[in-house]
Structure 1
Amino acid sequence: MAEVNSQEGVIHSDKLSYTAYPRSVSLARRRAARLVEEWGHGDQAGAVALLVSELATNALLHGCFRGRLFQVELTLAGGMLRVSVSDPRGELLPEPRPASENEQFGRGLLIVQDVASSWGVEERSVGKTVWCEVCVE
């Protein structure tokens, strides 16, 4: 959605960087749920928390180097809430894949596809941003 990408029409925005430790995923998830609630869309707080958790976990497992941060950004504009997670590894672009029944990992992007109205990847000069959007109207 073009409206969410530009600063025009932005109602609320939040951006925070996290260290590449597992605890950061739960911190990002709780922060996202609280903000969505404060922004008046509590009915979507659980969905947004799940999306942040999946994307942040992917950044932690596949996108971070030791000592580098990942960043979570939430933007509310034009009836859409965008979750963006940026990490320093641009050479590893995510793709959904089926996971076998015995695999512990591998379902994150399938969950994102199911819960979000859209999602994608933006390459950056250093790293990448994986984003998804949820309709809040």
Structure 2
Amino acid sequence: MKKILLIAASALSLASLTVHAQATDPHAVPQAADAEFSPTGKSYNVDFGDQQFRLDFKSARQMVFTSPDGKNSATVDINVTPIGNDVYMIYWSRRPGQYVVHVDDFRNGVAYTNIFLPDGKSSRRRGTLVEVK
């Protein structure tokens, strides 16, 4: 009888572990909290040569994107993944079918962008990232 109870208890424990493992994705990356995202409340000019933008980080979940002439401005929801040493991967979409992924190194002032457009074209650039004082 003890063996049957032990086997039943082991089976229940294994089932519980299996359900828990399915509920949590070990490869999922949590989004940064405001306290972890050093650019929160700051503004940065980004210069990719032929493209310049101002990024105003309201929080680790929202940013205002503005063109240099101020005519093109949008508040976008962002997803921020901390990489380390003030380096973050930041994702947003300004309009349906357009996706932007930055890897921004705020410590060294370097920005990398990958922009995917609705027509299937893409753009990859490296540029500067300067805090607006």
Per the TM superposition, whether the score is higher than 0.5 is no
Report the structure, 1 or 2, having the larger helix content.
Answer: 1
Report the TM-score, using the length of structure 2 for normalisation. 0.30
Report the structure, 1 or 2, having the larger strand content.
Answer: 2
Structure index of larger Rg? 2
